[in-house]
Chains A and B, each alone.
Chain A
Amino acid sequence: MSFVGVDGLRAVFAILQAAGMLAAAPLLKAVIKKMKARLQNRQGPPLLQVYYDLAKLLHKEPVRSETASWVYVAGPRVYFAAAIAATTLVPVLMATAPLEAAGGILLLVGTLALGRFALATAALDTGSAFGGMGASRDMTIAALAEPALMLGLFTSALAAGSLNLGGLVRSVLHNGVTFHPSDLLAFAGLFIIVIAETGRIPVDNPATHLELTMIHEAMVLEYAGPDLALVEWASAVKELLYLTLLADLFMPTGIGTSTAPGAIAVAFVAWAGKVFLLAVAVTVAESTNAKLRLFRVPELVSISLGLAFLALAIRFL
């Protein structure tokens, strides 16, 4: 592929992709919110409301606790930076990730874990009860979700013979899409993980601040103004990233293999369509399920861990 030959071009490509993901991520959140509202016979906020909210938060003056140290200030920034860095490791429109030379699946999972770690330590920093509770809950779920995510991704990597996400997509395109039962098992497992990691309903409720149930919201309860905007924006980017990842791994058809404008346009439409379909699935899952009791969440995540492990085992047989 000639367009990734030069380092400079690669950097431009990475910046463009990160900027595009940053711009598109709030829209995904808005679309899910809107569809959810429609399913409940409500009108829902206009699609651009998410952007207005972010702009409003970014213009506010940061309010921080007197006991907060630099960890508290660094938390949202590291979280945001990790989310942006992760977007450059995933193929979106092209069958290659901008910075795929830097690493593949392991780096992606590690980068996301770094962001989560920064946010959790920041939540502990002020010493408030809510922050500590939120951080401990988030870590409990993450400790189970992360191995499941790795196993699910490894299943696809094993089939393609590459840990590199770009290489993985290219190999699937090259060999043609062949179906194996483990794909469905891995997809089911990863879908549950996406729900858990993005704090959607059976696991967490993004719409409430009820002290008994909240997980992610409890962790970031103390943040205000630009800090809060960074956290929310990064969460949106992470959600878009996970859905893109599912689309890449399990239905790579339509992804661009050349820089011709036509191919990119097709790839963009295909990508938007696939992410929208997955968003519909997330919305339906969120609207038809009741929130699980906190102590039953590990049960749900262990189902996905089992599915992912099974997918990997069947690959070998």
Chain B
Amino acid sequence: MVTSDLLILCAAGMLVSAYLMVGQKALFTAIRLYSVQSLLLGIVAVTMAVSESRHELFATAAITVILKAIVIPWFLMRVIDRIGIHREIEPFLNVPASLLVCVGLTVVGYRVSTGFPVGARNVSHHLIGVALSMVLIGLFLMVTRKKAITQILALLTVENAVFLVAVGVTTGMPLVVELGIAFDVILAVLVLGILVHRIVDRFESMDVSRLSKLKG
């Protein structure tokens, strides 16, 4: 299998996982899907590192796999276990309608990616298309889901998409920036995890739409 095939396969796999996340109500499965998605991102980074001999990408791949495919999913699963809420009961939009919207978003993302310069054909075209679609799907998930955990996962999906472009299309980011982002992500997840605990403590539910009742 050629390098470009492997890259496209992984990117398409990430898109499928984002898509399945939309069609999924069980929180555990959604977290596992995120873990698989991060693993695929790690494979993309390793492939780029080997094929273009950019050795600093090995560090990126290691950070991605350890942090996003193992630590964060483990932490989120622990949070769910603690608070004992396992399902997204009723999103603002039901599953078939969400899927339909996401199909539209992906088409938009792909269409926009064709507007990039001619140099960005083939692999880059697909990577940018997938990443833009994932950003849009992630934003859509954040808006339509009520559970705080799903919203965290959506944010992380957007972050994965941005990373996909950074690793696959650009010449890469300096290691310092990457470490900074990694640290940011882990902090965000920790803070959000604590926030989820607080929300559940106060409202006995993860439903963030209830937060509007806080208004005086």
Contacts and interface: CB of A to CB of B under 8 A. Distances in A.
Contact of B130 (A181, A188, A302, A307): A181
Interface in B106-123: 106-107, 110-111, 113-114
Interface string A288-317: 000000000011101100110110011001
Contacts of A183: 12
B12 A181 contact: yes
B11 interface: yes
A179 interface: yes
Contacts of B8: 179-181
Contacts of B11: 181
B16 A185 contact: yes
Interface in A148-181: 177-181
B23 A310 contact: no
A184 to B, nearest CB: 4
A299 B129 CA distance: 26
B13 A184 contact: yes
Nearest to B100: A306
Interface of A: 177-185, 188, 298-300, 302-303, 306-307, 309-310, 313-314, 317
Contacts of A302: 23, 95-96, 99
20 contacts: A179-B1, A179-B2, A179-B5, A179-B8, A180-B8, A181-B15, A181-B130, A184-B9, A299-B23, A299-B95, A302-B95, A303-B99, A306-B23, A306-B102, A310-B103, A310-B106, A313-B110, A314-B106, A317-B107, A317-B114
B19 interface: yes
A184 B5 CA distance: 11
B20 interface: yes
A32 B128 CA distance: 40
Interface of B: 1-2, 4-5, 8-9, 11-13, 15-16, 19-20, 23, 95-96, 99-100, 102-103, 106-107, 110-111, 113-114, 126, 129-130
A178 B8 CA distance: 10
A299 B5 contact: no
Nearest to B94: A299
A306 B114 CA distance: 22
Contacts of A310: 19, 103, 106-107
Nearest to B10: A184
B135 to A, nearest CB: 16
Contacts of B102: 306
A164 to B, nearest CB: 25
A306 B12 contact: no
Nearest to A183: B12
B187 to A, nearest CB: 33
Contacts of B1: 179
Residue of B11, B126, B129, B130 ringed by the most chain A CB atoms within 10 A: B126
A184 B12 contact: yes
A314 B103 contact: no
B16 A307 contact: yes
A292 B99 CA distance: 19
- Nearest first, the 10 A-B pairs at minimum CB distance are A181-B12, A184-B12, A179-B5, A306-B99, A303-B23, A317-B110, A302-B96, A313-B107, A299-B95, A310-B103
A298 B11 CA distance: 27
B20 A303 contact: yes
B103 A306 contact: yes
Contacts of A181: 8, 11-12, 15, 126, 129-130
Contacts of A180: 8, 126
Given A299-B96, A302-B96, A307-B19, A185 B12 contact: yes
B97 to A, nearest CB: 10
Nearest to B98: A306
Contacts of B110: 313-314, 317
A300 B13 CA distance: 18
A293 to B, nearest CB: 12
Contacts of B13: 184
A188 B13 CA distance: 9
B126 A306 contact: no
Contacts of A306: 19, 23, 99-100, 102-103
B5 to A, nearest CB: 4
Given A299-B23, A317-B110, A309 B15 contact: no
